[in-house]
Chains A and B, each alone.
Chain A
Amino acid sequence: MSEATGLKSWLTTTDHKRIGKLYFWTAFVFFLLGGFEALLIRAQLAKPDNTLISADTYNQLFTMHGTTMVFMALMPLAAAFFNYIVPLQIGARDVAFPRLNAFSYWVFLLGALFMNASWLLPHHPAPDGGWFGYATLTERQFNPGPNIDFWLLGLQILGIASLAAGFNFIVTILNLRAPGMKMMRLPVFSWMTLVTSFLMITAFPVITVALVFLMFDRVFGTHFYLPQAGGDPVLWQHLFWLFGHPEVYILILPAMGVVSEVLPTFSRKPLFGYTVVVYSGVLIGFMGWGVWSHHMFSVGLGPIADSVFALTTMLIAIPTGVKIFNWLATLWGGQIRLTTAMCFALGFIALFTIGGLSGVTHAAPPADLQQTDTYYVVAHFHYVLFGGTMMGLFAGMYYWWPKMTGRLLSERLGLVHFWLMFIGMNLTFFPMHFIGLLGMPRRIYTYSHDLGVDSMNLLSSIGAGLLGLGMIVFVFNMWRTRRHGAVAGPNPWDGATLEWSIPSPPPVHNFDVIPTVTSRLPLWDAPPKPVPPPGHIHVPAGSWWPMVAAAGLPVMALAPLTHTVWIVFVGAAILLYGIYRWAYEPFEV
């Protein structure tokens, strides 16, 4: 069974492994772009009263750094692993809806390109309202250009990709598990994918509503967020953070899943307290819905609301702490191998703990009144999202790279990458705790020498340089591995889950024979028996129509962007035609 390799085979693919790779490379490029934006920010802040970057460009840079990292880098990097790994872990041949999966990818790509196209227009009208886009600053009255339109329309498009992917993975994990793969035998990464998918399908409708209101305000002159006509800008904040906090868990839970796979493998011990870790993840998913106003303690919601949200926020520390203790207990008494993947997973525990603890200091609203919107908060969430999510995702990259490519990344370069990241990360973000407590606000393009935080800012900028260097090492490692990496074989790490029972990279149909699962750690507890040679295995052919349907969405978005009504009908026609042909595509080709 040979595999086509031409361009067409990639454009029309519905294979979850290829879509996973497309997600990975696209998200990785956006990660580099978001990182480049961060380096420009740090260059500007390296000294006080710097004039390297103008105020307007700086405001665009931090807006797009946040938006890019959240929606175009971290989420889709996690989605790359959902795509590639989850069907392999649960013993399936593909996801439940392969063409919908392709649709998700193309929508993601086009939405991300749509928003970033704003950099390329004359005077680069890139979004400049912050990733949180607070009204009334994002209203037409205060932001007349197309900047915010690019942002809100791009986010709407990206949201559709997330919704489609969320539904797909829920159905996949619930329905396509191999015989014997009970829910309580599901690998933790697949469990966290399930929880994350539920969060995606419930959280994204909230921001969709918020963005529709904003679009109506900007395009049709409604007043949802404008106080002059009875609207309220605080409504935006409630809607945004009602989405935004579950979004934080959408970003961290997949990384927690990765860590829960990597630690047992490289300790040669089962995950300690599997059920507790799984239920903690589910509980975090639920509780994530009850804490949104902790982003709004300075808004003045009143002492009762502040108290309630302070307590719910503190409560969420309990399941999070439980997870950390279970990971530590997994290490305890194990036989630890300090591979690069393991180093990143251990780095996750070390750094995420710091982010969690600084989070508790602003779970207390009065303390938060001194901290919110300062660099202290920037330090906090970078320990969570860089120290946590990115460290976890890097662990996943080193761990699953041999499965995805058939070759191992260099461990020596990997460790150089790890230490540059670990040291650079702390050098960049640890001083920000002090910069913030000493009174420097976030989102300012310039600061006064009088604040006394010059050298700490310079230190932070140097750390950012180290992070950039680390990424160069990583890119070199990936490039080098194409030809020089050691051949991995099916199970280079002695992993216990099903993805390690098949060749690397796996054949198109994944499993010659769908395995029957009798334990949580099938490869450790019951090594696979030789399987009879397979007969013909049907693999669906590719399809153009998911991409065609996806192409209709950015075309539709051009209508509100350019205030031209007829374009929306063209876009809708493309979308509907794509869906029609998709629906009536012959099943077998």
Chain B
Amino acid sequence: MPRYRRHSISFAALLGLGLIAACGGPYPQSTLAPTSDFGVAVDRLFTGIFWWACGVFVVVEGLLLFSILRFRRREGASAPAQHHGHTTLEIAWTLAPALILVFIAVPTVRTIFATAGTAAPGALRVEVIGHQWWWEYRYPDLGLVTANEMHVPVGRPVVVDITSTDVIHAWWTPKLGGKRDAIPGHHNKIAFRADSIGEYMGQCVEYCGASHANMRLRTFVDSDSGFQAWVAAQRVAPAAPAAGSPEASGKQMFQKYGCIGCHTVAGVSTGLVGPNLTHVGTRTTIAGASMMNTEQHLHDWVGNPPGMKPGSMMPNMHVSAADLPALIAYLQSLK
């Protein structure tokens, strides 16, 4: 990605950013490393404005420093010339910023219309629904429902339709471009075409209550075949666990502890309050993408949700220590 390299070099060069180097990378949520057409358009606009701002910065701070150093009071000097103003100068420094703003405004308005979320023909549609504190994803053309982790194919236009069921959230995968608010009663659109395969981090970026900080997300840009495989797997209900296995007893716990009231598992339950868990075993994260999907994390999370995610809508169901391993085995088997 030569764009990215060029951009970060300019930043570091200008601002003496040994700092960033010292802090190490990578920066999975950097806005300076766009990997979609939307992100690149935004970045190009920002870079242009940034350099204009740098120019003005150097002029203003330079004049300021020069004046401070040059025009100091000397003992015994008589009062300086009492200038009250200068019309030509006033006109000049009114027109100069106005002119710079023209150079900023024209690309700005162009980019606004170019990034207005208009779906390209044949775009993959994804509905994003914000909940306190997790993301629901629906693929209306593919008949899929999942949570917190979105999959899209590389190189194909995608349009996400963003809304919310409770409070205002904002959906953001920085490397794929800007954010849009998820507002109950409104639908916002982001259109983009992802340029490179990979796993991209993001998170809710509109303050939405106690666990706003834990409302994170992942976007997977898959190869075309990888995406088709993912879709095919999502469409098949997970296999029923073998009789007598820990998974089978875990499935009973799933009913016993009332999980079915809030969660859907295809063929098992139809709850709609919490995330759809039909294929939770295939996800890399749990709990609003705030933790990796490991046995230990599942143990901590299911054992005490509000302890892991303050304010969590999932109450502590007081799953007994004896029942917990089976329940977790069942969740992990949902692939």
A interface residues, Cβ below 8 angstroms from B: 54-56, 59, 130, 134, 136-137, 142-143, 227-228, 232-234, 267-270, 272-276, 298-300, 302-303, 306-307, 310-311, 314-315, 317-318, 321-322, 324-326, 328-329, 331-338, 346, 349-350, 353-354, 357-358, 360-361, 363-374, 431, 434, 437-448, 450-456, 459
Contacts and interface: CB of A to CB of B under 8 A. Distances in A.
B49 interface: yes
A55 B108 contact: no
B321 interface: no
B168 A325 contact: no
A329 B177 CA distance: 42
Interface in B230-262: none
Most buried by A among B79, B177, B189: B79
10 contacts: A273-B89, A299-B186, A302-B116, A333-B80, A336-B72, A361-B46, A369-B179, A441-B172, A446-B213, A459-B19
B32 A310 contact: no
B226 interface: no
A324 B46 contact: no
Given A364-B104, A431-B19, A443-B207, A328 B31 contact: no
B181 A142 contact: no
B215 to A, nearest CB: 9
A329 B31 CA distance: 38
A148 to B, nearest CB: 12
Contacts of A440: 29
B42 A274 contact: no
A279 to B, nearest CB: 10
Contacts of A270: 82-84
Given A137-B207, A269-B82, A349-B60, 7 more contacts: A137-B167, A234-B186, A315-B101, A329-B86, A434-B19, A445-B213, A448-B216
A366 B32 CA distance: 14
Interface stretch (B63-71, B138-146, B297-305): B63-71
Given A55-B210, A314-B104, A450-B28, A298 B179 contact: yes
B26 A452 contact: yes
A400 to B, nearest CB: 21
A451 B216 CA distance: 12
Contacts of B112: 303, 306-307, 310, 365-366
Interface in B304-331: 310-311
A314 B213 contact: no
A361 B53 contact: yes
A518 to B, nearest CB: 16
Given A369-B179, A445-B213, A447-B213, A54 B94 contact: no
B46 A367 contact: yes
A496 B174 CA distance: 53
A361 B71 CA distance: 33
A527 B267 CA distance: 93
A455 B28 contact: no
Contact of A358 (B53, B109, B208): B53
Nearest to B187: A300
A374 B109 contact: no
A452 B80 contact: no
A450 B210 contact: no
B23 A452 contact: yes
A289 to B, nearest CB: 19
A130 B207 contact: yes
Given A268-B79, A310-B112, A332 B42 contact: no
A445 B86 CA distance: 52
B169 to A, nearest CB: 10
Contacts of B71: 267, 331-336
Contacts of A59: 207, 209-210, 212
Contacts of A374: 31, 205
B24 interface: yes
A449 B27 CA distance: 10
Contacts of A326: 85, 90
A364 B170 contact: no
B108 A456 contact: no
A315 B57 CA distance: 18
A318 B73 contact: no
Contacts of B82: 269-270
B178 interface: yes
B188 interface: yes
A314 B101 contact: yes
A332 B67 contact: yes
Nearest to B290: A448
Contact of A443 (B132, B183, B212): B212
A331 B67 contact: yes
Interface in B111-151: 111-113, 115-117, 132
B1 interface: no
A299 B117 CA distance: 13
Interface string B31-73: 1100000000111011001101100110011011001100111
B96 to A, nearest CB: 8
Nearest to A227: B185
Contact of A233 (B43, B63, B84, B184): B184
A450 B203 CA distance: 13
Contact of B30 (A298, A439, A442): A439
Contact of B83 (A269, A358, A367, A373): A269
A300 B28 CA distance: 26
B284 to A, nearest CB: 13
B238 to A, nearest CB: 29
B31 A134 contact: no
